[in-house]
Amino acid sequence: MTQATKDASRSAIDKKALLAKYIAERDKRLRADGNAQYLQIKDQLAHYLEDPYTPRVEREPVTDHVTFAFIGGGFAGLVTGARLVEAGITDIRIIEKGGDFGGTWYWNRYPGAQCDTASMIYMPLLEETGHMPSEKYAHAPEILEQCQRIGRKYDLYKNALFHTEVSELNWDEKNSRWLIKTNRGDAFTARFLGMGTGPLHVPKLPGIPGIESFKGHSFHTSRWDYDYTGGDPKGGKLSKLANKRVAIIGTGATSVQCVPHLARACSTLYVVQRTPSSVDVRANKPIDPEWFESIATPGWQKRWLENFTANQAGNMAEEDWVMDGWTDLSRRIRSRIMDLPADKRTPHDMLAAYEDSDFEKMEEIRARVDSIVKDEATAQNLKAWYRQLCKRPCFHDAYLQAFNEPGTHLVDTDGKGVEKITERGFVVGGVEYDVDCIIYASGFEVGTEFTRRAGFDLVGRDGLKLSQAWADGMKTKHGIHVHGFPNAFIVQPTQGANLISNVPHNLTEAGATIAAIIKHAVAHDYKEVEVTKEAQDAWVELLLTNAGMMIGSPDCTPGYYNNEGQTPSPAAKLNVGYPAGAMAYFKYIDEWRNSGDFEGLAFS
């Protein structure tokens, strides 16, 4: 595109009118109850949490001692376990509420489930396990198999406790170890403790009046009932839905992926929408083994991770190898900024350039709806009126097309949500829709208390609870260490790199860091390792110099990215990453752990 054409297409956008539309659409959706609008799944709703995939096996409680215990058998536990084994620590026990490893990928087996970040960088330990991803964006069964492969390769199955939830965690000051109790009667000790329970693991239901009264079949997408629908997670046709009228409530990233499968299978499908997702091009393709062999030379995955982060996190990488939706977003913003004359690259003008790039992108996404969806009114209702990072961006090449199927109907609630659930179906705009089955694609708890989601609190030195230590917000060093909680490590992105477009990269780095620390402690026979208060305070102070996140914002349409449109609590300002960015963090943490000084930690 020449500069003149670029300028012409850019000036055609009426920014003022668009912003007014964005605000009007947001206002329609703002509600006073914020996160409280959702139902916690318990009591008479508890059946929505049952594991449909693996039968629970009775076992004797364990009462022994391990060197390292980890809560959560998803990517965090697996990569930390793997790095520990590589460091020579093999006495590891992973405790997991699901019936196998996999975390998110254990539970989310809905038809069409797929990774939105390119598999080459999303799937952890590909090089170590010798696995070549089959597609640019792998489907869920392959990702689950990768989790199982890691578990087998590093022998993490032998000591794991599945279908087990931790109920109590207490620091035993006298013996310098953690006491761990579970809902299966286990009571064992661990010299070191890791936690990686993930951000999106507790399903939630919409607080729609009458939800318990529905007499048909219903389930949450993270507990897909293939016995009822037929088919399988690998894409087998949902043949038992052929004569069924089905409603799917919610149109977030999950719904976008499973709607095409439902549309093909059901006699009638109602897609019930409160806010449309932005759905950009997917362009998935198989990975060519010859090409893979040519690039998969030693150290390849690290190089790819670095290339992605450099392109994604705003630095200037030479070439974009990954070329996915996330790097596209960054490339556009960068190119806008580079188009500014050097003397105009002020924060104000750069922000304006970012905003322009966003308007342009969203106009493209809305135009894509018109180009695919045949029914005009449906197309109009499927358009997302907000900035792209207000909500989780989606990428799919069959979702919008599904609305051209004769049996598929968009039920748009004009931002209001479902009015009520009845014995026979659901009500929107005063109209009752009779259905045989309701599928809740209503997402996962995000803004609730950490202890409510985890199911436990951590009781550290002198009886200090983690919920007390974090009463005014999360306080750590590197997002891993908390003062007052010796020998405990947290594996997650916040207060570290905070690279949300590729969460596994954060986890793999944290795993490597923890393994280096524990190896050091074991080699020198230290009983305890703990971050000093000064080091933690200094890290928190550094974090507070962060300009803030680009996702969400109070003027966005509500969702979990912006605390459902409610004023964020003062504690939210601590939910940030290293101020210099993800790329700089990974470089910093690599040097920190390899220096052998572990500055800020006290070993005794």
Does residue 115 contact residue 104 with C-beta atoms inside 8 Å? no
Instruction: Output the smallest distance, CB 447 to ligand NDP, in A.
Output: 11
Instruction: Output the smallest distance, CB 497 to ligand NDP, in A.
Output: 17
Nearer to ligand NDP by Cβ, of 68 and 444: the residue is: 444
- Draw the binding track, 386-405, toward ligand NDP (x: CB under 6 A; -: no contact): ------x-------------
| Contact partners, residue 342, CB within 8 Å, separation at least 6 | none
Nearer to ligand NDP by Cβ, of 206 and 460: the residue is: 206
Instruction: Output the smallest distance, CB 110 to ligand NDP, in A.
Output: 8
Ranges within 267-286 binding ligand NDP (CB under 6 A):
272, 274-275
Q: Report if residue 250 touches ligand NDP, rule: CB under 6 A.
A: yes
Q: Which of 102, 133, 196, 417 binds ligand NDP (CB under 6 A)?
A: 417
Nearer to ligand NDP by Cβ, of 133 and 250: the residue is: 250
Binding region for ligand NDP (CB under 6 A) out of 43-51, 182-190, 252-260, 404-412: 252-260
Query: Mind spelling out the 3-state secondary structure of 571-594?
Result: HHHHCCCCCCCHHHHHHHHHHHHH
Instruction: Output the smallest distance, CB 551 to ligand NDP, in A.
Output: 11
Ranges within 198-217 binding ligand NDP (CB under 6 A):
200, 206, 208
CA 260 to each of CA 271, 399, 561: distance values in angstroms, whole numbers, following the listed order: 11, 5, 25
Q: Report if residue 482 touches ligand NDP, rule: CB under 6 A.
A: no
Does residue 259 contact residue 243 with C-beta atoms inside 8 Å? no
Q: Report if residue 115 touches ligand NDP, rule: CB under 6 A.
A: yes
Residues 331, 321: Cα–Cα separation, whole Å? 12
Q: Report if residue 506 touches ligand NDP, rule: CB under 6 A.
A: no
Nearer to ligand NDP by Cβ, of 229 and 257: the residue is: 257
Does residue 28 contact residue 415 with C-beta atoms inside 8 Å? yes
Binding region for ligand NDP (CB under 6 A) out of 292-300, 364-372, 439-447, 455-463: 439-447
Dihedral sign for Cα 162, 494, 328, 357, please.
Answer: positive
Beta strands 65-71 and 431-434 are unpaired
**How many residues of this chain bind ligand NDP (CB under 6 A)?**
28
- Draw the binding track, 312-351, toward ligand NDP (x: CB under 6 A; -: no contact): ----------------------------------------
Residue 322 exposure: Cα atoms within 13 Å on the Cβ side: 32
Nearer to ligand NDP by Cβ, of 103 and 206: the residue is: 206
| Contact partners, residue 428, CB within 8 Å, separation at least 6 | 272, 411, 413, 418, 419
User: Of the candidates 473, 422, 417, 480, which has an alpha carbon nearest to the alpha carbon of residue 450?
Assistant: 473
Joined together, the tokens standing for residue 342 give: 């050097």
Helix axes 347-372, 325-338, angle to 10 degrees: 130
Interface contacts to ligand NDP, rule CB under 6 A: 29, 114-116, 200, 206, 208, 249-255, 257, 272, 274-275, 392, 413, 417-418, 441-444, 559-560
